[in-house]
Chain A
């Protein structure tokens, strides 16, 4: 039962916001020491267990280097950003003409999910795209239709702009084979003696991606209906 302390260390460390690398190392050492611990164990035994754990961790780290090799992608993405990749994406998004908030966010959601599925996770994001572009465009679409927005609806629209970005990213990125989560799965399974190819994993992210697309499309349709119900009367009163 003692080896479960390692799991406790992971949970506690992340909850307390300690440096996650430190948490992982501490959890590994705790697990290794707990596995070796008996009421009779002396310091020497435990020291040996600690060293053996560090060696086992080092071997596993060396065996799973491919998890981190994907960062070489950053050299290519960075070069494109230097040439205005994000600016180009902004120009493309700004050209979107959609009559309602829901439809505008839906187009952005689709673009975000599709781009993430192709590995372009940097095309989007809250600071780069949502705050400067998507949220103001969505608010603008509502204002054109309904006039001045009450605060409640304004913040609701902004929240939905951020949500579209997150959901599009999360349920698109795993379709790309070289994303950290896919390689973490590959690495974890390999440490457990199961060999899988990244492509096998990313293919099985597609059904969930489709489910996310369907569910969130429905949500955005409902958002439009909600805004219409709440705001349409207000416009009549103003005019």
Chain B
């Protein structure tokens, strides 16, 4: 049976190759830092279960320190613009197909593991989607290696090219999920709950849902990042009120809550990648303004959509 442990080995080997290839890349002035960062992450994936809690904590401190110093950008060998255009012309829309293998295998694998009798022999039903996803990536890679005949190291080099452009932000979601554990242990949710219930009546479903969704959007506007707002608002309002006190379904509440946060992303200059970078690229005259043209074009969609999220959560998230 394939389990998450096998998926971690695949992940560890991927990060490990990125680390080694970074070390060999003389075009990157900070190659040692990149090597250490991706190497530590690979260590976590390959050996995290043997390191002990404190060992893992120290490993995370190392990752944070390296990220704070700053990672560099490597220059992996890849194809040029001309070569790519020729390949795109020649191969046509078939190029989209291998990318679709990944979600198709992930979905099929999940259904097989959960709905058939023989599925669990191959795929761990408890983590079916993630296992199937990694399986889908491996199958897609196999298809592409046969079809496109790139150099054997190309998947790692191309993966490194994209991973370098993501940088340390690659582990931000995992860090925020872990912060949730610390919040839980310290009782942050209960404390905020006590504070909130003194001032705002969160005892009806409609009020609690509205407070959670609007809170997600507002915190995202302030911080510029829905991922960062999520653990804070969900520990404060989402879990204690909407889920535990009023009977909301956690998966539905959180899925819609995150999207309420995305409505905030549309309205904030703090989300520079999405709202300021395009204003600069498109040479808008008001690109330096707090509410530049892009944000103003988005607000009239964001506000009705936030309202739609509140209504959807109110009517979908309470199955009983």
Q: What is the interface of chain A, defined by CB distance below 8 A to chain B?
A: 1, 3-4, 6-7, 10-11, 14-15, 19-25, 27-28, 31-32, 34-35, 51, 53-88, 91-92, 118-120, 122, 126-127, 130-131, 135, 151, 155-156, 158-163, 165-167, 170-171, 174, 176-178, 180-192, 194, 196-205, 207-208, 211-212, 215-216, 219
Contacts and interface: CB of A to CB of B under 8 A. Distances in A.
Contacts of B161: 78
A142 B26 CA distance: 48
A1 B222 CA distance: 22
A120 B129 CA distance: 17
A184 B177 contact: yes
13 contacts: A20-B169, A21-B67, A25-B61, A61-B174, A62-B44, A62-B49, A66-B7, A79-B154, A81-B84, A83-B148, A131-B282, A159-B293, A178-B129
B73 to A, nearest CB: 14
Given A58-B58, A68-B173, A197-B128, A204 B45 contact: no
B245 interface: no
Contact of B297 (A55, A156, A199): A156
B120 interface: no
Contacts of A57: 57, 60, 178-179, 181-182
Interface residues of B, number: 147
Contacts of A202: 255
B23 interface: no
Given A56-B181, A72-B159, A187-B173, 14 more contacts: A32-B185, A61-B178, A65-B45, A68-B171, A71-B163, A73-B133, A79-B148, A182-B255, A184-B177, A186-B177, A188-B180, A198-B130, A204-B251, A216-B301
B168 to A, nearest CB: 6
Contact of A184 (B137, B170, B173): B173
B54 A79 contact: no
Contact of A205 (B4, B255, B278, B282): B255
Given A61-B175, A69-B130, A85-B99, A215 B304 contact: yes
Nearest to A219: B301
A59 to B, nearest CB: 4
User: By DSSP majority rule, is chain A's interface helix, strand, loop, or mixed?
Assistant: helix
Contact of B182 (A60, A127, A208, A212): A60
B22 to A, nearest CB: 14
Contact of B95 (A83, A185, A186): A83
Contacts of A88: 88, 91-93, 95-96
Given A72-B14, A170-B262, A78 B177 contact: no
Nearest to B260: A208
A192 B222 contact: no
Given A73-B102, A78-B161, A174 B188 contact: no
Contacts of A212: 301, 305
A54 B58 contact: yes
A25 B173 contact: no
B227 A180 contact: yes
Contacts of A130: 278, 281-282
B225 interface: yes
A35 B181 CA distance: 14
Interface stretch (B28-36, B199-207, B232-240): B232-240
A92 to B, nearest CB: 7
Interface string B140-178: 110010001010001111111111001011111111111
Contacts of A203: 255
Contact of B85 (A87, A158, A191): A87
Interface string B60-102: 1101100110000000001101011111110111011011101
B121 interface: no
A126 B230 contact: no
A60 B129 contact: no
A71 to B, nearest CB: 6
A219 B85 CA distance: 34
